[in-house]
Chains A and B, each alone.
Chain A
Amino acid sequence: MNVLRSSRTTLLLLAALAARNAAAQGAPAPQAPPAVDINAELDEFISTDQIQAASKRVQDVASAPADVVVLRGSDLKAQGYRTLGDALGGVLGFISNADHAYQGMGMAGVYTLGDQNTRMLILLDGHALNSPAEVGSSKLGEDFGIPLELVDHIEVVRGPASSLYGNNAFQGLVNVSTLFAAGDSQPGFLGAATAGSGGLGELWAAGSVPIHGAMASLVVSGFRRTGTAQDLPELQDAPLPANADAESRQSAYLYVKGSDWSFAGSFLSRLQRLASGPYGSIAGDTGNFYENRRLSAEFKWEPRTDSVRWMFRFFGDRNTFSDQFRVAPLETFAPAQPDQQTDVDPDRSLGLEAQGRANLNGHLSLTFGTELQYHRYFGAYLDAQGAPSVDTEVSYGIGNTYLEANWAPTAAWNLVGGLQRADWIPGRVASTIGGVEQDAPKESISRLTPRLSVIWKPAAGEVVKAVFGQGFRFPTIFERYYTDEATQAANPAIKPEVLTSSQVSWSRTWTSRLTTHVAATLFSWQDAIIPGSSGDQEQYQNAPDAKKGRALEAEAAWRHQGLELSGGVGWYDWTYQGAPLENSSRWNGVLKAVQRLGAWSLAGDARYVDGRQSAGTGSAVPANWTLRASLRWDTARCWAQASVEDLTNSRRRDLVAPEYSPVTWMAADGRALRVVLGVRL
């Protein structure tokens, strides 16, 4: 078996490297270090971004075989971003999409309508929040659950990264490092209260205490929003009631960090009411809602031998999605006794990852490992009387075996090559429709994903990269196996979609104050999974042709004393079958500013997203600006912050997925004000 063979190869490699440890002990000849410009070297040193996401090991960003952006915690605080999606929306090429159920995010100027971020892998302290079953969560809005005040930094890989991470690292990868994991946590307590427009309120508290040589940190948080009145002219002239858009969330995160081990456990529960009435439910009825519950635990052990760093990770997740819709079979609005439909979709999983990182002779380093996951999904659709009319049970395994080599023959050159083998192996697959069990075909999916990068540093502070990478996304359980017999058909033969990216970039630090970055990228998106039809039923299928994309991006950052300015402009051109791709934006721009003065900081950002259109409905949204500003006063013991957002400039709208039909777009929340008061003990 190929999977077993690749795993055996990994084992042989581990054994060979372990044996090699004993031999690699040579004393170098003493010599005087070459003279360096101390001030220039120190300035470069403290400005060197350190990342782990690109190659699953710590490296400086210039040596990473990918296009990586680092969002630092100090900037996140100064800008007053509330959600992970807010922060990522300020990264060039990212476009957010709001449907008042989940915060969606697209990259390189394109977002797939209805996608709950299955094409972007999101990690919290290295633990994947995405579920291969995709049971309804975006991870980017209030369903992230960790206050950004507690984030040390965010690493954003712009482009596919499946050669190490496998499924979901399709358009990009986001790794959020909390203060507990990335930093050197000190004992203490902090907490904050937030109040804002739309009836927004949040309370959170976090504490860290030393326990037997380890540092244990706990965050608990509660959030509620009474909602905003939705204006949906396709449904009715008057705005829908605000409380039909209400949202609430409770979350907790425990992180215990030892000398070479860590444990992370998280819980999150979120309820979002659905004013827009998706799937033909009654618009404005407070009985429509999505509910997500996520529970996860991970133990990580990172021992070391002389020249190999090991990492063993054991993890388990439970993702549960449920929804409830109030449906009027014959009328559109407010029937006397609406029917109620309920859907419950839990996915449980257990997994492990074993990884080794070896530096063989100072010039060649290897990262190798294997990750295995076992999942069990059981979803049920309840009819109007509460009886299960359809259920689907799928147990499946996911394998991810990878090897990456980094060869630096001289200080100026890095060559990085990698290869990953992924497997999706079904165990039990069965659907019960109307009391009759139906077995579905059980076809495994395997694929190889390569990576190749050439990194050239012609001079200090200058980097040229040529990066080739691929991302893939297995079909979700819904896309492959979901059927209700009447309107939706399963498609067990559906293939994973693959995104190939080829990029050339040039980064230069002109002075200690000014840096620039330009990049040109070609994309080919093959076998895209799209809604289609099979006979008179709907069915997810692979697109017959590839989506093609081109991107040109230019960014600059400038700092002087307490002022930091950064920004960029991106041009994107996506086509499918010769026509502009749905919901793709040609121009994207972002400008950020932070001015620090003692305990005070004043920050703001402006974002521009070009107009987009929907291929299916012909609906379009115009180009729009998003403006934010935040004033913060921060001392050792407390902080206070006021933030304003203007999302209504140019009537910001977002296109939405077909399930909202006849609604084709929704407006953003509008102008918002938030005030935060925090304390540290």
Chain B
Amino acid sequence: MRFRNLIVPPLVCACAQLPAGDLAAPTLAKFLRVLLQATALKGVACPDKELAGELTNLGVALDPDAKMVWADSPADVARLAKQGRLVVCGTRGLLASGASLAVVAEGGRPAIYANPKAITATGLALPDSIMKIVKVAP
């Protein structure tokens, strides 16, 4: 039967299990650039290649040791938060692991959730312009 010829099983690939973010990478990159500006930090650590590419396009410096870091797994978030770094993630559930900010999509638009305890632990104070648009995670 000819239909069998359609069966193309490109199912075998070695994949690292990293959850995808809810927002487009260019949108996330713009927010991280604003966050850098607002906190007067100099760079961001970003292991996500696509997001790192967008940050580079915006002229943001990538620095693996930067105070601000993008993370998207519970283990990375917990480890980086213990180092006193400002951890930004794309999943609200990671706030419980110690992330400071979660940038997610709600109703088709970006929304920011904050973990005040984690932010305080970083020793940074986020400006009012940021705080007035964030929602505090329960």
Q: Is A439 an interface residue (CB 8 A)?
A: no
1/0 contact trace for B2-13 toward A, CB 8 Å?
110111111101
Report yes or no: A36 in contact with B33, Cβ–Cβ below 8 A: yes
Contact assessment for B61 and A11 in the assembled complex, using a CB-CB cutoff below 8 Å = no
- A152 vs B109: C-alpha distance in the bound complex, in angstroms? 10
- Contacts A10-B10, A397-B3 aside, 4 further interface pairs with beta carbons under 8 A come to A10-B8, A46-B133, A359-B49, A427-B3
- Across-interface contacts of A304 in B (CB, < 8 A): 15-18, 20
Q: In whole angstroms, how far apart are the Cα atoms of A184 and B24 in the complex? A: 16
Q: Which of A282-311 contact B (CB under 8 A)?
A: 302-307, 309-310
Establish whether residues B133 and A42, one from each chain, have CB atoms under 8 Å apart when the complex forms: yes
Chain A residues within an 8 Å CB radius of B5? 1, 3-4
In A125-163, the 8 Å CB interface with B consists of 152-153, 155
Contact A50 B18 (CB under 8 A): no
When the two chains form their complex, are residues B108 and A361 in contact, meaning their CB atoms are under 8 A apart?
Answer: no
18 chain-A/chain-B pairs, Cβ below 8 angstroms: A10-B10, A11-B10, A27-B62, A33-B33, A36-B34, A41-B33, A45-B34, A50-B105, A59-B26, A60-B24, A153-B107, A153-B108, A183-B104, A183-B105, A186-B92, A260-B19, A370-B8, A427-B1
Contact check, B17 vs A303: say whether CB atoms are below 8 A apart: yes
Contact A305 B2 (CB under 8 A): no
A contact residues around B59 at 8 Å (CB): 31-34
Judged by a CB distance under 8 angstroms, whether A623 is at the interface is: no
Tally of contact residues, A, Cβ under 8 A:
74
A177 / chain B contacts, CB cutoff of 8 Å:
108
In the complex, what residues of A have CB within 8 A of residue B42's CB? 32
Residue of A nearest to B58 (CB): A33
Check if A45 sits within 8 Å of B27, measured CB to CB: yes
Is B121 positioned at the interface, with any CB of A under 8 Å from its CB?
no
Residues in chain B near residue A50, CB distance under 8 A: 22-24, 27, 105, 108-110
Taking CB atoms, residues of chain B closer than 8 Å to A70 are: 108-109
Interface bits B66-109 vs A (CB < 8 Å: 1, else 0): 00000000000000000000000001110000000010111111
When chains A and B are docked, how far (Å) is the Cα of A399 from the Cα of B6?
7
CB neighbors of B among A245-266 (8 A): 259-260
Q: A30-B43, A33-B36 are in contact. Are A425 and B53 (CB under 8 A)?
A: no
List the B side residues contacting A362 at CB < 8 Å.
53-54, 56-57
Residue of B nearest to A365 (CB): B50
A193 at the B interface (CB under 8 A) = no
How close is A352's CB to chain B, nearest CB, in angstroms? 8
A336 touches B (CB below 8 Å):
no
- Evaluate whether A60 and B20 lie within 8 angstroms (CB atoms) in the complex, with A32-B42, A50-B109 already known: no
Question: Which 3 A-B residue pairs are closest in the complex by CB-CB distance?
Answer: A153-B108, A362-B53, A303-B15
Q: Are B63 and A30 in contact (CB under 8 A)?
A: yes
The smallest C-beta distance from A361 to any residue of chain B, in angstroms, reads: 7
Tell me the complex Cα distance, A139–B104, Å. 29
* A58 surroundings in chain B (CB, below 8 A): 20-24, 105
> Do A184 and B93 touch across chains, with their CB atoms under 8 A apart?
yes
Complex interface: chain A residues within 8 A of B129 (CB): 38-39, 42
Residues of B within 8 A of A60 (CB): 24, 26-27
Enumerate chain B residues within 8 angstroms of A27, measured Cβ to Cβ.
Answer: 62
B108 near A155: Cβ-Cβ < 8 Å: yes
List chain A residues, Cβ under 8 A from B16. Answer: 303-306
Q: Does B130 contact A (CB under 8 A)?
A: yes
Q: Is A14 in contact with chain B by the CB < 8 A criterion?
A: yes
Assess the B10–A30 pair: CB atoms within 8 A: no
Task: List A contacts of B7 (CB < 8 A).
Answer: 372
Cβ A35 vs Cβ B37 within 8 A = yes
CA–CA, A303 and B106, complex, Å: 23
Task: Give the chain A neighbours of B104 by CB distance below 8 A.
Answer: 183-184
A382 contacts partner chain B, Cβ-Cβ < 8 Å: no
Which chain A residues lie closer than 8 Å to B58 at the CB level? 33-34
Contact B14 A73 (CB under 8 A): no
User: Does B106 lie within 8 Å of A152, measured CB to CB?
Assistant: yes
B110 contacts A48, CB within 8 Å?
A: yes
* Contact in complex: B10, A14 (CB < 8 Å): yes
User: In whole angstroms, what is the CA distance A58 to B105 when docked?
Assistant: 10
On chain A, the residues within 8 Å of B1 by CB distance are 427
A72 touches B49 (CB 8 A): no
The reply on A74 being an interface residue by CB < 8 A is: yes
Residues from chain B with a CB closer than 8 A to the CB of A31 are 59, 61
Q: Give the Cβ gap from B68 to chain A, nearest Cβ, in Å.
A: 12
Tell me if A413 counts as interface (CB < 8 A to partner B).
no
A407: CB under 8 A from chain B? no
A303 CA / B91 CA spacing, docked (Å): 16
CB distance from B6 to the nearest CB of A (A): 5
